[in-house]
Amino acid sequence: MTAPPHETRPGEPGRAPHAGGPRRATPDTQQGMRRRNLARVMHAVRAEGPLSRAAVAARIGLTRAAVSTLVDELIRSGLIEELGPERPGRVGRPGSALAVSARGPAGIGAEVGVDHLAVCAVDLRGTTRARAIRQGANRGRSPEPVIAELTALILEVVAEAEGEGLWPAGLAVAVPGLVARDSRTVVRAPNLDWHDTDLGDLLPAEFPLTVDNEANFGALAELWLGDGTPRDFLHVSAEIGIGAAVVVDGGLLRGTRGFAGELGHVPVQPDGPECACGGRGCLEQYAGEEAVLRAAGLEPDEDRVGLLAGRAADGDEDVRRALRDAGTALGVALTGAVNLLDPDGVVLGGELSGVAPWLLPSLRDELARRTAGPVCPVTVSQLGPQGPLLGAAHSVVRAVLDDPAAVAERA
Amino acid sequence: MTAPPHETRPGEPGRAPHAGGPRRATPDTQQGMRRRNLARVMHAVRAEGPLSRAAVAARIGLTRAAVSTLVDELIRSGLIEELGPERPGRVGRPGSALAVSARGPAGIGAEVGVDHLAVCAVDLRGTTRARAIRQGANRGRSPEPVIAELTALILEVVAEAEGEGLWPAGLAVAVPGLVARDSRTVVRAPNLDWHDTDLGDLLPAEFPLTVDNEANFGALAELWLGDGTPRDFLHVSAEIGIGAAVVVDGGLLRGTRGFAGELGHVPVQPDGPECACGGRGCLEQYAGEEAVLRAAGLEPDEDRVGLLAGRAADGDEDVRRALRDAGTALGVALTGAVNLLDPDGVVLGGELSGVAPWLLPSLRDELARRTAGPVCPVTVSQLGPQGPLLGAAHSVVRAVLDDPAAVAERA
């Protein structure tokens, strides 16, 4: 019987939609088929395990014999483990339940925030196994000392993960800025004041590296870990600037230079105040954290969103009005985006989720007033500010699940 | 030797990015491999023919024997023809040059415009072989009589094509409105006043049908027939309304409901005049044909773009100012779109191309003023108002080239 592997699309099992560098199509050979079938076994066990070999075979439409060969290879590589015989009361030889390994490869996620650094390690089961965080302003600091501190955190997390039998399969770094399609170079991070910085030169060379915009990683986290996230959505995120990520059919839309999703500079009032980008009346001038603080008569603080959320919760009318106006401005910008992209939903994530209760009503009103037909639903991420860091770590894990053969060769 | 077929992406040979209904992935079997290889032969001969069998084999990386079998099948189906021996002076058995057939399947394209109906037949070589047009306002007429007239034109064009040995492989219809993802139903065509109209019920049942928005077909024409069109671009088109199509990596971005590309209702001045869509200050209020005519103090005419272009060319300052202002409004809306999508370029097509000389300077200025870094190039389609009709007919031809086996079964 011939194995009937399916073609896959970006974001579906069998292909990494996001992993570092340009995507390589798996060649359509016996070897390529084996690789794709290894991925299908991994995804089946990950999604529905523990499963017996027979159950895996039934789910992915291969013979029991073919699946056994694939499973043996994955066990040898340490990607799958046997939990021992299951359901011994049943007729026939008892199947041994399979699960993805809680040891073996781990994804290392890291985040450079304007006011913090964070690193975590996630195993193949999706469990966060180690974590480190350092608060402190990074704004205006040059990349070298910041990345040196990040590296120290990374090595700390890696050491902790290795103590639990894990090994780093790759490092993914979320940054608040535009990243080139080489997945290494921060072209522009205005809130850090970094320009054309190749992080590959500054980070430990031993880990395969992917650098991406925090909104992109946040969107991937939402797609993979969110509850009922659609496969076509716009993810809006904010940390001083306003970033967005466009997910189409379960994959990120990156744009020619990798800059897609620049919602913050969509004109909201074409004759409005000047923006650092050279334009006027950009969304950031109305809904960026600093603009909202200014409108509320507050001074910037290290924890800007926390300050706004706290004041709004306390009933501060100036802050509530400022957030309401920011919601309206977001509604105008999102009307344009929804008209252009026709997504299945908009998710507010990242730091923005902290003030969502006071943004959402005016945002939804504005969107409803301006769009004909059914209104695009706007929801708030349940991952909140953790999204980008989790998305980074899980992107490495996904790359392993999507091509276990590549990792097995390195194990 | 194993054939090394490549995986394909939407818009590349081997997959129809646009053809009617949800796309079916070719299964990864021997049979699927044969189908994909037939497509590769068709595309090689189409793009670079006339070619000998040996030249085809060299180009697509299959053995001469494998290619001969595939070519024989395509000749039997009437999709490829032999032009006779070539270069007889050469060593070895002379190869017979192959070309895609100028008889056999043809794509029938049709267009429902606000002021005209048009139909054409295009053969596999891409040559337009028959054409019919009827001028006359369709606005406010119900779909039945309009589609009855269109059907008469279709049958006329089909009869002419059949007289030349062609047969209709499918019918693609461009409409100025939003089309559901069933590729049959016009959900909303405000300038015709059509709503939820299933054109499949009104058109001859014998032709496989694809209905799509005129901007989408215009964009595909640009992609396939334009000179140096990038694979990521925004195609802006206009006929009273302003439509756009988003092309990502050589395929159309359709959106959840099939409505992606609604540039006309992107807010340009959030407190501007009310729009029929329920919003305020939408782009159409500034750059739609009727808005421009109004701003120039002119009465609507059957050939609105012709009127505007004529007056502008004659130096009418009111018309020139109105078009300049429309260009500025387009620049504001496109700033948002370019920020979100990061395309490789913007192409003005359809009816809009007729007034492009007077729109472009202010449009480009506005975009340059508002975007940091290199400015996204804005060009004018060389296909002009013919784009949507040609895109429709060529979409049928592409579907044949992308899966010749499907057509061979019906031949």
The DSSP secondary structure of A55-66, one letter per residue, reads: HHHHHHT--HHH
- Tokens representing B261 are 């590309």
Contact A212, A172 (CB under 8 A): yes
Contact A242, A284 (CB under 8 A): yes
Q: Which residues pair with A80 in a beta bridge?
A: A100
What pLDDT score does A16 carry? Answer: 33
What pLDDT score does B126 carry? Answer: 95
pLDDT band at B301 (very low <50, low <70, confident <90, very high): confident
Q: Which residue has the higher pLDDT, B31 or A46?
A: A46
Contact A133, A116 (CB under 8 A): yes
Query: Mean pLDDT over all residues of chain B?
Result: 87
Question: In this complex, is the C-beta atom of A327 within 8 Å of any C-beta atom belonging to chain B?
Answer: no
Q: What residues in A contact B268, CB-CB < 8 Å?
A: 267, 270
Residue keyed to tokens 């009816």: B351
Sign, CA dihedral A60-A62-A67-A69, equals negative
- Tokens representing A290 are 């600093």
What pLDDT score does B28 carry? Answer: 52
Question: In this complex, is the C-beta atom of A272 within 8 Å of any C-beta atom belonging to chain B?
Answer: no
Question: In this complex, is the C-beta atom of B258 within 8 Å of any C-beta atom belonging to chain A?
Answer: yes
Rounded Cα distance, B69 and A364, in Å: 60
Q: What are phi and psi of A207, to 5 degrees?
A: -105, 130
Q: Identity (one letter) of the amino acid at A19?
A: A
Of A223, A267, A265, A227, which is closest to residue A248 (Cα–Cα)?
A223
Quick check: B344 and A260 CB within 8 A? Answer: no
Quick check: A28 and B33 CB within 8 A? Answer: yes
Quick check: A371 and B265 CB within 8 A? Answer: yes
What pLDDT score does B94 carry? Answer: 53
pLDDT band at B339 (very low <50, low <70, confident <90, very high): very high
pLDDT band at B95 (very low <50, low <70, confident <90, very high): low
Q: Identity (one letter) of the amino acid at A339?
A: N
Contact A164, A129 (CB under 8 A): yes
pLDDT along chain A (411 residues), means of 10: 33 32 42 86 91 91 90 93 68 72 95 94 97 93 97 98 96 94 92 93 96 95 92 86 90 92 92 88 92 90 84 95 96 95 93 90 94 86 92 97 85 60
Contact B350, B215 (CB under 8 A): yes
Q: What residues in A contact B246, CB-CB < 8 Å?
A: 340-341
Q: Identity (one letter) of the amino acid at A187?
A: V
Q: What are phi and psi of B204, to 5 degrees?
A: -55, 135
Quick check: A255 and B369 CB within 8 A? Answer: no
**H helices present in A235-275, as ranges:** none
- Of A33, A248, A266, nearest to B339 by CB-CB distance is A266
Rounded Cα distance, A38 and A32, in Å: 10
CATH number belonging to domain A104-218+388-399: 3.30.420.40
Rounded Cα distance, A66 and A41, in Å: 11
Q: What residues in A contact B25, CB-CB < 8 Å?
A: 6-7
- Of B256, B333, B335, nearest to A232 by CB-CB distance is B256
SS3 A212: strand
What pLDDT score does B276 carry? Answer: 81
**How close A241 gets to chain B, by Cα (Å)?**
14
Question: In this complex, is the C-beta atom of A259 within 8 Å of any C-beta atom belonging to chain B?
Answer: yes
**Count of positions (residues) in chain A:** 411
What pLDDT score does A96 carry? Answer: 80
- Tokens representing A208 are 């395969």
**H helices present in A342-403, as ranges:** 356-370, 387-402
**H helices present in A4-142, as ranges:** 30-48, 53-60, 64-76
- Of B29, B266, B279, nearest to A2 by CB-CB distance is B29
Rounded Cα distance, B165 and B330, in Å: 46
Rounded Cα distance, B240 and B260, in Å: 18
Suggest the residue from B2, B339, B363, B367 to mutate for an interface test with chain A (most A CBs closer than 10 A). Answer: B339
Q: Which residue has the higher pLDDT, A30 or B375?
A: B375
Q: Which residues pair with A168 in a beta bridge?
A: A106
Q: What are phi and psi of B5, to 5 degrees?
A: -65, 145
Suggest the residue from A15, A370, A371 to mutate for an interface test with chain B (most B CBs closer than 10 A). Answer: A370
CATH number belonging to domain A227-382: 3.30.420.40
Q: How far apart are the first and last CA of chain A?
A: 31
Q: Identity (one letter) of the amino acid at A119?
A: V
- Of B26, B254, B278, nearest to A372 by CB-CB distance is B278
DSSP assignment string, A297-310: T----TTHHHHHHH
What pLDDT score does B398 carry? Answer: 96
What pLDDT score does A239 carry? Answer: 65
CA B66 to chain CA mean position, Å = 34
> Which residue of A lies nearest to B15 if distances are taken between CA atoms?
A7
- Tokens representing A197 are 């910085």
Quick check: B260 and A340 CB within 8 A? Answer: yes
- Tokens representing B80 are 């490829």
**How close B15 gets to chain A, by Cα (Å)?**
12
Question: In this complex, is the C-beta atom of B124 within 8 Å of any C-beta atom belonging to chain A?
Answer: no
B-proximal residues of A, 2-21, CB under 8 Å = 2, 4-7
Per-residue model confidence as pLDDT tens digits over B205-262: 999 999 999 999 999 999 999 988 999 999 998 766 788 999 999 999 999 998 999 9
Mean pLDDT in residue range B119-131: 97
Which residues of chain B does CATH 3.30.420.40 include?
Answer: 104-218+388-399, 227-382
Quick check: B25 and A7 CB within 8 A? Answer: yes
